[in-house]
Amino acid sequence: MNRRGIFALVGVFLVSALLAFPARGFVNQLVLVPISYLLWLLKLFYLSVDQALWWIGVVLVVLLILGTSLLPEFKQKRNLIEYKRQERGNVESLARAIQKSDRGIYFKWLVANRLGKLAHQMLTQREPGKPRSVFSPLQADGWNPTGEIQNYLEKGLHGTFADFPNTNWNYFLPPQKTQLDHDVNEVVEFLESKMENK
């Protein structure tokens, strides 16, 4: 729960505590007396009906439940709509993350993470003989990105979004620039050029 929610909860509690004593007569007349009267009427109705009728009603309800559960033709047929979650491909999920990247640091990191994984897969295919660890740096012969692109891909692959400050909750401070704020188009163009040069 955020700070505003806590303050709102404390405020509601204080107001209700201040109004509890003065409003007790009002609550008594509008809530407690009508509920008590309704319960009294229900008790009178229950006592006025013969017990044999109540038992017959209970037996009929039990038989109805048993009949509908044991005999399938008496079951109500429902048109159930089967919900199927649409599978998204890598490109579509990356595009959705890019669209949401202005919402906060998590989506920026998600884009960098997917591009970092793509760079790792590209370097793994370049060196088919050696197994490449996901924790190894993104370096190989002919792999010469600018320092900013290299840093962006490394932070996306080996870092987490928790490594970066989240200033979304503070509306008074301007958002801080991080290594994840690099232009995504430039990174994608670099990766495309490396795919062409393969």
pLDDT in tens, 9-32: 888 888 887 877 777 787 788 888
Q: Quick: pLDDT tens for 69-79.
A: 877 654 555 55
Q: What is the pLDDT of residue 56?
A: 93
Burial class (CB in 10 A: 0-12, 13-18, 19+), 191: middle
Structure tokens given for 91: 């490109």
pLDDT along the chain (198 residues), means of 10: 78 82 79 91 90 91 85 55 66 78 80 85 77 76 81 82 64 66 82 72
Q: Is 50 left (phi over 0), alpha (psi -120 to 50) or beta?
A: beta
pLDDT at site 40? 94
42 and 94 part of one domain: no
Same domain, 142 and 47: no
How far apart are alpha carbons 121 and 126 in whole angstroms? 9
Residue 192 lies in a domain: yes
Residues 6+ apart with CB under 8 A from 103: 168
Between CA 152 and CA 147 the distance in angstroms is 8
Q: Are residues 97 and 67 in the same domain?
A: no
- Do 130 and 58 belong to one domain? no
Question: pTM of this prediction?
Answer: 0.51
The answer to whether residue 42 sits within a structural domain is yes
Per-residue model confidence (pLDDT) at position 58: 92
Residue 39's pLDDT is 94
Q: Is residue 160 in a domain?
A: yes
Find the domain containing 122 and state its range: 90-196
Q: Which two tokens stand for residue 187?
A: 């990174």
Whether residues 65 and 95 fall in one domain: no
E strands, the chain, in order = none
Instruction: State the Cα–Cα distance between residues 137 and 153, nearest whole angstrom.
Output: 10
Report how far apart, in Å, the C-alpha atoms of 174 and of each of 102, 111, 177 are: 13, 22, 9
Closest CA to 164 of 90, 101, 115: 101
Angle 152-155-161 from CA coordinates, rounded to 5°:
115
Structurally, how many domains does the chain consist of?
2
